[in-house]
Amino acid sequence: MNKLIKLLVFVFTLAPIFAVAQNNDANKARGGKFALTNAKIYTVTNGIIENGTVIINNGIIEAVGANVRIPADAEVFDYKGREVYPGMIDSGTKLGLQEIGSIAESKDFREFGDITPHMQALSAVNPNSVAIPVTRVSGVTTTLTMPEGGVLPGTAATINLFGYTPDQMYAGSKGVVMNFPSAQRRWRQTEEQAKKARETALKTVNDAWDKAEIYAKIQNSPDTRYYPEMEALAKVVNGEMLLYIEVNTAKDIVSALEWIEERGYEKVVFTGVAEGWRVADKIAKAGISVIAGPVQSLPTRQSDAYDAAYKNPSVMQKAGIKVALRTSDTENSRNLPYHAGFAAAYGMGREEALKAVTINAAEIMGVGSSIGSIEVGKKANIFVATGDPFETSTQIINVFIDGYLVPMTSRQTELYDEFLHRVPGTQKNTVKTDG
Amino acid sequence: MKLQLRKISFRLFLLLPLLVFAVAIQAQSDPTGKSPATRTYAITNATIVQAPGKVLEGATIIFNNGLISSVGTNVSIPSNAEVIDGTDLFVYPGFIDGMSYTGAVQPKSLPRPDNLFTPDPPNDYAGITPENHVIEQISVSENSISDMRQNGFTISHTVPYGRMLPGSGALITLIDAENRDDLVMYNDVSMYTQFVGAPGAYPGNTLGIMAKWRNLFRNAVNSKQHSTMYASNAAGMQRPTRDRTLEAFYPVVSSDKPVFYNASSLLEAQRAIRLQKELGFALTLGNLKEGWDLAPFIKETGTKVFLSLDLPKEPKAAKEKDKTDEVKHLEERRMEFYKKYVTQPVVMQNAGIKFGLSTMGTTGGKVKDNLITLIEHGLSEDATLAALTINAAELLKIDHITGTLDAGKLANAVISTGPIFDKESFIKYVFVDGDKHEYDKKEKKSSSAEGSQAVIGNWTYTVTSPEGVQTGTMIIREESGALAGTISGMRGGPDADMKNLTFVDGSLSFDFSFDAGGQSVEIVVVGTVTGNEYDAEASIAAFSISFPFTATKDEGK
Amino acid sequence: MKQFNMYKTIFLTALLLLGATVAQAQVKKGDVLIKNGTLLTISQGTMENTDLLVKDGKISKIGKNLKAPNGVEVVDASGQFVLPGIIDAHSHIAGTSINEGTSQVTAEVTMEDVVNPLDISIYRAVAGGVTAINLMHGSANVIGGRNETLKLRWGSTNPDDLRFEGAPRTIKFALGENPTRGGRARGIQPQSRMGVEAMLRNAFSDALVYKKAWADYRADKNKRKVAPEYDLRMETLVDILDGKILVHSHSYRADEIYMLMKVFTDFGIKKLTFQHANEAYKVAPELAAFGAMASVFADWWAYKLEVYYSTAYNAAILTKNGVTTSINSDDGELIRHLFHEAAKTQKYGDLSDDEALALVTLNPAKQLGIDHRVGSLEQGKDADFVIFDKHPLSTYAIPQRTFIDGVKYFDIDTDAKDQRIFIDPESSIEVVQIFNREDQHKCMDDADLVYLNDLLNNN
C-alpha cells in the first residue's frame, strides 16, 4: 500500500476511534507538538508579533515569529483574532497548601515553631487541589506557593499548575521565607516602646542568622552536627538560595534594607511591601526587587489616600524597582490579572503590569531563563485569550503548561454546565405538554 | 518584750480610725487627741468667693456645726471658734462631682450562670438591676473619698459599678464616716445606665442594650398603668406581677427620676439622645467627652449635662529633625482633635448651656491640672468654678443647701493658698459638713502605688491556650500615683488598657477586655510576682475557662 | 394620669409599628448639571452625549442640550460614563457592632442603633462609586437583628444624616454553619440544619400567638383591660409575618435555601432575599418560582466547607433563570470595586452590559425595596450617581466623582489625602494596619466569636 492508502485507512478506520478516545479524554491534558498560528503574540520580552506563530514541541517553545514554518506533524491551532501571552505568574499564594479555609485538617502551610526554615512547601502541595484547575483556566500557569507562620516559617516553591506529583509541578525556584520583625507602632505605644519591641524581635532573627553564618562555614566538617534549620539558612548565607523577606511598613522596610546591607546576603526579595511607595527611592537605591500585593487592598493607614494601595506597585516601578505582583490568595489566585489591571489603571500602565505578572516575576524568582515570556527555548507556559486578559470580558481559550494543552474545565465550569439549565427544573417526572 | 509592744501598737493602729469616728460623733473623750476641739471655725481676713464673680476681700466666714452661720466683712467671731487666719487664703464653695464612682467599690465579678445562653439570662449577670442602690457598694474606707476631697470635692453624685443598668445613684458627702449611711445625703436620685454588655450573654453589646432598654421602658409603662388601675380598683382585674426591675422604672416613666447616661463618646451620647427622643425620659448626659457637635441639641432640649474631667493627654510632637510634611500634617490634625476635647466646655458655654463636671475615669491628682488645661483653652475661671459648684448644685437640685458660700448652707468649702486655678496655689483646707481637713503641699501621692516599683516596667508575656502559645508585651507604669498599664493584643490585636490593676503583697492582678467583633470579652489575670517573673492564671469569665499566663520583666528599665 | 399613660402606650406602640425615626435629620440636597456624558441608565439602556439635570437632590431631566439654571454647577462629562450610584446589599462598614450573637433569636435589635458615621471606610466606598449600603447585622444567630439602609453621606458626625429616609425595614436571618457552630459551642440548639428550621418555625409560631394576644387586647371593649406583655422581639417577628419587614437571609447551601422558602411559604412570608447564597444556582428554578432574590459574591469560595461547591457562574445562572440577583461586598475593600465584581459575570457566564451593571445598581435597590428611589437614572429618582472615566465594566475604569442627592461627596480632582473626620488624640500618628485578605470574611467570622480559639485570635 502506498502512503495515500495508508493515510486513507488511517482516516477512515482509526480516526473515529481517535476521536472517540479524545472525547473521553476531554478532561485529560495532552502533550505533543503544537502550532499556534495567526495569533497576536505578546512575547513580553520581544514586543508584539501581530500575526505570528508559536511552535511548541515536547514542552519547549521551539519557534516564535511572524514567518515560522509549521511542522507537518504539529497539531495546528488557528488563533485568528486571538491573543497569545506567556502564562501569568502569581508571586505569592498558598495554592496547593490549603483546600478549605475553615478546616484545619486541609491547611498545610503553617508548622509549629518560630524558626522552621527547612519546612518544604513543595512537599505539601496537593497537585489535585480543586482550586488548581480553577486557577489555571484563567491563564495563571505558575504560582509562588509560600508557607506562613513564625519568623522563618519555611521554604517556598515556584510551581506550575499542572502535574500529578509535586516534582512534575516544580518550576525550579525555591526560597526561604522570613517575616521581618515589625516595628509597627501599636495603639498608644510610644516611639521608644516600639523601638524596644523591634530590637527584641530582631534579636531572635539575628541569633538565628548568626548561627547560620557559623554553620555555613563548618557544615562540611564531618563532625558538624545535623541541624536542618541551619542547613536551610546556610544556603541563603552561601548565596545558593533566595530569601523572601515579608516586610510592609515604611519603617520596617528601612530597617530591613539596613539589615540586608549588614548581612550582605545576595539573593534577597521583599514581599508584601505595602508601604513601599513611602520609601520607594530607598528600595530602588538598594537594588532590591519586590513582590507587591495584593493590589486590591486597603490603605495601611486611616490617613492615607483611598487609592494608596492601588498605586503602590506603580510608584515603586516608576522609582526603578523591579516589581512582581501577588494575590496573597489561595482559591482566588485566578484574580491575578485583575490585580494587575488595577495596578495598570492606577499608574503602572498595561505593559509594565503585564511584565509584573510574567517576566519580572520569573526573573525575581531566578527562573527568568525558563519561564515568563514567549521566547525560543523557554518552557511552553502559554495562554490564549480573546483579548486583553486584564479585562473581565475577555475569555481564556486555551492554556498550555509545560507544553501540555490542559483542559479548559474546572469544577466551577462543570457546575455551570450542569446547572445553567437544570434537568429537571421545578417539576420532576411530570408530563410535558407541547405549547 | 519588744515584740509584744510592737504587736500592741499594731492593734492600736487598727483601732485608730474607729476611735476617731466614735469620738467625733459622740463628742466624748478621745485618747488619740485627733478629734477637733470645736466644730465652730472662723476664717478671717480672707478672700471669699461666695459664688463665681461674687468676691469679698478681707472677709470672714463662720462655720458652725456643719453650716455656714455667717459670711461678710463685718462678722463677729464666736467665742468658741477656732480662728484660722485667712490672710492670703482664698475661700471657695466646695466642689460637687456630677457623676463618679467616688466611695463605691467594684463588686467581684459574678460567676457564670448555667443558663447563660438564653434570650433572657439572669438579670444580675445581664447587668439589669436598676432596683439596686449604690449605697450597697459604698465603703467608708474607699481611698477615692479622701482623694477627691483633697482636691476640693465635698459632694459626689456617686453611681454604682456594673453593666447596663447597675442601679440608682446617690448624693454622698465626702466626710470621714463610720457607717456608709452617714455618707448618703440623698439616696436614689438617679437611674444610672451605660453601654456595657454582659460578657457572653444578652445583652452583649450596644445592639442588645438599646433593644433591651426600649423593651424594659415600654413594659414599665404598661406595668405602671396596670398597677395604678389595680390600686384604685382591684375587682375583677388580674393581679399585677411585682417586678422590681420594672418598678424601678416607674419614676423614670413619669420623669420624676432622671436617667444618668454614661455617654463618654460622641456615638454613645447620640444613642442616649436617640433613646430619650423615642421614650421621653428625663435625660442627663454624664461623663461626656466628645459632645462638641451636640451643643445645639443640648441647648434646644434643655438636656442636663456633666462634662468629663478625664481629658486626653496632650499629644507630643515628634522631634523637629525627623519631621516630614506628612508627619507635620498628621500632628496638626491630631492636635485639632485634642483641642476639640479640651474646648468642649467652651463650646457648651458659648451655646449658653449650663453644665457641670464629672470626674469619672480620672483621679484626684489630675483634677487641678485638667481644670487648668480647660482654662488655658478658653474656659473662664468663673465658668470653671460655676461648673464645679453652683451649676452642678442646680443640675442636681441641691442648690438650696450648697453650691455657694451663703449663710444657712452647708459648711462645704475649699480654701487654697492663692487663687484656686493658679498653678502655684494648693488646697490648704477642705471643709465638708463643717469638718476641717488640712493638707500640706507635698502630700499629693496616694498610697496605692507605693511599693509598686517592683512591677513598673515592660513585660513580655506568654499565654498557653488551646490554640497554642502566644506572646505579647505589657507595660506597667505609674500615673498620678496609681498603677496603669497596657497590654498588647494576642496575635497582633489592638492594645488594651489594663483595668483594676492592683499590686498588693506580691500579688498582681488586672483585667482587660477587647472587642471581638462588637462583643466585649473580658479577661482577668491574677498571679504572683517573684523578682522579674510573673506567674499567673488568665481567665475568661464568660466561658469559665482559664489558662496559664506568665510574664518576664525586661531587664534595665 | 391614667389616661396619659394609656395614651403614651398607644403612642409608643404606634411609633414602633411605624419604625419611625424620631430624629429627622436635615440632609443636604444639591443642584447640578452633568453635560455630554454617556448615561448608563440601567432601566432605559445607554444614552450617549446626554445631559442630566439635578434639582434639589432629584433627577429633574435627562436629555440633550439641557441648560443649567442660574448658579447651578455644570460638570463636563464628555467621554465619561454616568452610572447610577452603586448599592451594596451586604455591608458591615459604618457600624460599631455587628452581632448581638448572644442569643439565637434577636429580632429586636437593630443596626440603626450602631451606625458609625466616623468610619473612614465610608469615604473609601464613596470613592468606589457606592452611594447606598445595607448595613447588616452579622450571621451569628438564626434570626439576627434588623439591618439599616444607609446613604453614604460622608462628613457628618450625626448617624441620622446617613439614614436612607423612607427605606423599608429589613432584617438578617442566618442559616447553616454559622448559627449551628454557635449552638455547638454553647451546647444549645441549633446544632444542625434541622435545628435551624425548627427554630424558625418555633419563632414564627410564637409570634402568631403574640399577635393574637395583642389583637384580642385591642378588640377588647373593656376599659379596664390589661395589656399583654410587650415584646419588641415578637413585635418584629409579627411585622415580618405581616410583610412589613424584608428578610435578608445569610445562606450558602441549596438545601437550606430551599428549606427557608418552604418555611416562608407555610407562614405566608413573601419578601425574601438570600445573602451570599453560594449554592443558590442549584435551586435557581425554585427561587424564581418563589420570587426570592439573591445577593451573591462574584467569586468568593472555599473559605469554609459550605462554600466549597461554589461556582463563579452563580450570578449568571441565577440571572438567566429569572432570579433578581445582586453582587455584594460584605467587605470594606471589595466594596470599593463592586463595578469590577459585577464585570466578572461577563467572564463567568457572558452577561450583557446592562445585566451586569444591574447587579450592583437596580437589583440591589429592588432587594432593599428602594428601587422607586434609586438604582437607575430616571427622571424623578434621587440624584445618586457616579461618573467613571471609562466604561465601568472595564478593569481600568476609575470613579471620578460621586454624587448623592445631587451633592458631590467624592471628586478625584480635589481628593485631599487625609479624609478622617475623627481622630483619637491619644493615638500614634503612625497606626499602620497591614491588609490581610484572610480577615475579609467579616460576616462569616462573626459566628466564631463564641469560640474560645477565636476569642484568643481576636480575628
Listed in order, strand segments (DSSP E) in B52-94 are 54-64, 67-72, 82-85, 90-93
Facing residue for B473 by CB, picked from A112, A187, A197: A197
Whether residue C454 lies within 8 A of chain B, CB to CB, comes out as: yes
Nearest CB to C395; choose among A274, A341, A416: A341
- Nearest-CA distance from C439 to chain B in Å? 12
Give B277's pLDDT tier (boundaries 50, 70, 90).
very high
Between chains, do B458 and A196 touch, taking CB under 8 Å as contact? yes
% residues pLDDT > 70 (chain B): 87
For residue B444, the model assigns a pLDDT of 45
Q: Is 70 exceeded by the pLDDT of residue B451?
A: no
Inside any domain, residue B343: no
Contact C22 B274 (CB under 8 A): yes
- The residues of chain C scoring below 50 in pLDDT are 1-8, 10-24, 442-459
Indicate the residue type of C377.
L
B333/A187 Cβ within 8 A: no
**Which range has the worst mean pLDDT, A320-324, B3-7, B61-65, C266-270?**
B3-7
What is the average pLDDT across B481-507?
75
Instruction: Compute the nearest-CA separation of C448 from chain B (Å).
Output: 10
pLDDT, mean over chain A: 92
Residue that is written with C-alpha cell 427605606 in the block: C167
Provide the pLDDT for residue C324.
98
Q: How much is the ipTM here?
A: 0.92
Question: Phi-psi bin for A320: left (phi > 0), alpha (psi -120 to 50), beta?
Answer: left
Judged by CB atoms closer than 8 Å, whether chains meet at B333 and C2 is answered as no
Residue B207 has pLDDT above 90, yes or no: yes
- Indicate which CATH number applies to the domain containing B361: 3.20.20.140
A231-245, B498-512, C315-329, range with the lowest pLDDT: B498-512
Query: How confident is the model over A417-429, as a mean pLDDT?
Result: 94
Which of B458, B495, B554 comes nearest A186 by C-beta?
B495
pLDDT reported for residue B321: 73
| Amino acid identity, position A173 | S
Tell me what pLDDT residue B154 has. 98
Check whether residue B413 and residue B360 sit in a common domain: no
Q: Which chains touch A (3 or more CB pairs under 8 A)?
A: B, C
Where does a domain end: B387, B402, B417? B402
Range A66-90 average pLDDT: 97
Q: Tell me whether residues B495 and A303 touch, CB distance under 8 A.
A: no
Name every chain C residue with its beta carbon within 8 A of the beta carbon of B205.
97, 100
How many of the other CB atoms lie within 10 Å of CB of C414? 8
**B156 in a structural domain:** yes
Domain assignment of residue B450, yes or no = no
CB contact under 8 A, A300 and C123: no
Q: Kindly state the average pLDDT of the residues A170-192.
A: 77
Dist. CA A244–CA B555, nearest whole Å: 33
In terms of C-beta distances under 8 Å and separation of at least 24 residues, what long-range contacts does B298-302 make, across chains too? B298/B348, B298/B351, B298/B353, B299/B351, B299/B352, B299/B353
Contact residues on chain A for B488, CB-CB shorter than 8 A: 186
Residue ranges of A 331-360 with Cβ closer than 8 A to chain C: 331-332, 334-335, 337-338, 341-342, 344-346
Q: Which of C303, C396, C437 sits opposite A294 (nearest CB)?
A: C437
Pair B410, B464 in one domain: no
At A19 the pLDDT is 43
Peptide bond into B122 cis (omega under 30): no
Please name the residues in contact with C281: beta carbons below 8 A apart, sequence gap of 6 or more.
A415, A419, C311, C313, C314, C317, C318
Distance CA A32, CA A404 (A): 7
Provide, as residue numbers in chain C, all residues whose Cβ is less than 8 Å from the Cβ of A334.
Answer: 299
Q: Domain containing B366: what range?
A: 97-310+353-402
Residue at B18 is within a domain: no
**Cα distance from A16 to chain C (closest Cα, Å)?**
32
B335 touches chain A (CB under 8 A): no
CB–CB contact A196 B486 (8 Å): no
* Residue in B with minimal Cα distance to C117: B267
Q: Looking at beta carbons, which residues of chain C come within 8 Å of B280?
A: 8
Check whether residue B437 and residue B512 sit in a common domain. Answer: no
Tell me which residue in C347, C398, C426 faces A345 most closely, judged by beta carbons. C398
Which residues 283-302 of chain A have a CB within 8 Å of chain C? 294, 296-302
Show residues of chain C in contact with B540, CB under 8 Å.
452, 455
Taking CB atoms within 8 Å and a gap of at least 24, the contacts of B493-497 are B493/C458, B494/A186, B494/A187, B495/A186, B495/A187, B495/A188, B495/A189
Q: Are residues B110 and B257 in the same domain?
A: yes
Instruction: Read off the pLDDT of residues B28-46 as tens digits, 9 standing for 90 and up.
Output: 677 877 788 899 999 999 9
B556 at A interface, C-beta within 8 A:
no
Residue B116 is assigned to a structural domain of this protein: yes
Domain shared by B78 and B192, yes or no: no
Taking the CA of residue C307 and the nearest CA in chain A, the distance in Å comes to: 9
Query: Residue B512 maps to which CATH number?
Result: 2.40.128.120
B336 part of a folded domain:
no
Query: What integer pLDDT is reported at residue B545 of this predicted model?
Result: 64
Shortest CA gap B190–chain A (Å) = 35
Residue C146's pLDDT is 97
Compare all CA atoms of chain A with the CA of C281 and give the residue at the minimum distance.
A419
Q: Do B503 and B528 belong together in one domain? A: yes
B373 lies in the same domain as B239:
yes
Closest CA relative to residue C98, chosen from B266, B494, B207: B207
- Could you tell me if B66 and B210 lie in one domain? no
Q: Which among A196, A200, A303 has CB closest to B330?
A: A303
**What is the amino acid identity at position C421?**
I
Between chains, do C396 and A300 touch, taking CB under 8 Å as contact? no
What average pLDDT score do residues A55-72 get?
A: 97
What does each C-alpha distance from C257 to C277, C286, C293, C446 come to in angstroms?
8, 9, 11, 20
- Let me know whether B436 and B463 are in one domain: no
Q: Which of B326, B456, B459 to substitute to test the interface with A, most A CBs within 10 Å?
A: B326
CATH number at residue B83: 2.30.40.10
Is residue B368 located within the same domain as residue B410?
no
- Going by pLDDT thresholds of 50, 70 and 90, the confidence category of residue B508 is confident
Interchain contact, C415 vs A303, CB within 8 Å: no
Q: Please tell me the total number of residues recorded for chain B in this structure.
A: 557
**Per the CB < 8 Å rule, is B333 touching C418?**
yes
Judge whether B126 lies within some domain: yes
pLDDT digits (tens, 9 = 90+) for A84-119: 999 999 999 999 999 999 999 999 999 998 899 999
Q: Which residues of C are less than 8 Å from B204 in CB distance? A: 100-102
State whether B249 and B239 are in the same domain: yes
pTM of the model: 0.88
**B337 within domain boundaries:** no
Kindly provide the b/e burial profile for residues B193-225, where b requires at least 16 CB atoms within 10 angstroms of the residue's own CB: bbbbbbbbbbbbbbbbbbbbbbbbbbbbbbbbb
- The runs of H, that is alpha helices, within C292-387 are 314-320, 338-347, 353-358, 362-367
The sheet with strand C143-151 has its strands ordered as C86-91, C130-135, C143-151, C169-174, C245-251, C272-276, C293-296, C325-327
DSSP one-letter code for A68: P
Is the pLDDT assigned to residue A185 strictly greater than 70? no
- Percent of chain B, pLDDT > 90? 64
> What share of chain A in percent tops pLDDT 70?
89
B184 and B138 part of one domain:
yes
* Minimal CA separation from B341 to chain A, in Å: 17
Residue range A5-27: average pLDDT?
A: 49
On whether any CB of chain B is under 8 Å from the CB of C416, the answer is no
List of chains touching B (3+ CB pairs within 8 A)? A, C
Biggest CA pair distance of chain A = 91
Test mutation, B196, B207, B290, chain C, max C CBs within 10 A: B207
Q: Which of C438, C414, C418 is CA-nearest to residue C429?
A: C418
pLDDT band of residue A375 (cuts 50, 70, 90) is very high
Residues from chain A contacting residue C305 (CB–CB below 8 Å) = 100, 102-103
Closest-CA distance, C100 to chain B, in angstroms, reads 6
Q: CB contact, 8 Å: C10 with chain B?
A: no
Distance CA C423, CA C431 (A): 11
- Asked if residues C9 and B222 have their Cβ atoms less than 8 Å apart, the reply is yes
Residue to mutate among A246, A412, A417, with most C CBs inside 10 A, is: A412
CB-nearest partner of A185 from C128, C308, C428:
C428
Q: Which one of C13, C23, C446 has the shortest CB-CB distance to B517?
A: C446
Number of compact structural domains in chain B: 3
Residues 98-117 of A with CB under 8 A from B: 112
Does B330 lie at the interface with A, CB-CB under 8 angstroms?
Answer: yes
CA A34/CA B61 separation, integer angstroms: 109
Domain boundary among the residues B416, B444, B472 is at: B444
The span from the CA of B48 to the CA of B91, in Å, is 5
Q: Which of B468, B494, B554 sits opposite A187 (nearest CB)?
A: B494
Verify whether the Cβ–Cβ distance B495 to A188 is below 8 Å.
Answer: yes
Q: How far apart are CA A138 and CA A152, in angstroms?
A: 32
Instruction: Count CA within 13 A, CB hemisphere, residue C290.
Output: 26
